[in-house]
Amino acid sequence: MISILARERLLGAALGGMLAGVIVLEERKRIYRSISDDRSRLAARTQKREPIFGKEFRTEFAHLWNQSVDRMLGPAIEYLSSRGW
């Protein structure tokens, strides 16, 4: 027969293993829940996010930017082109 000391050790190992299993499962649930919460918050934030300026403004700004760059660098480009660059 198994001695009392061996039974106590076996019972302690079994209870310790069950406790460790419960702790691991609870931590996994917390981790998965936090990941899910982060994803839902991120999805909610990206859905509510609107551009600061409208599409028309951005198009007009890009056009004005290109015109100003052409005016500023146009002479330099013409000079380099005439020199064979």
Q: pLDDT tens for residues 6-43?
A: 889 999 999 999 999 999 999 999 999 888 888 887 77
pTM: 0.43
End-to-end CA distance of the chain: 98
d(CA 21, CA 59): 59
pLDDT score at 78: 87
Confidence of residue 48 (pLDDT cuts 50, 70, 90): low
Q: What is the mean pLDDT of residues 39-56?
A: 72
Residue 57, Ramachandran bin (φ over 0: left; ψ between -120 and 50: alpha; else beta): alpha
Q: Which two tokens stand for residue 26?
A: 């609870």
Amino acid at 77: I
Exposure b/e, 50-62, CB count within 10 A at least 16 = b: eeeeeeeeeeeee
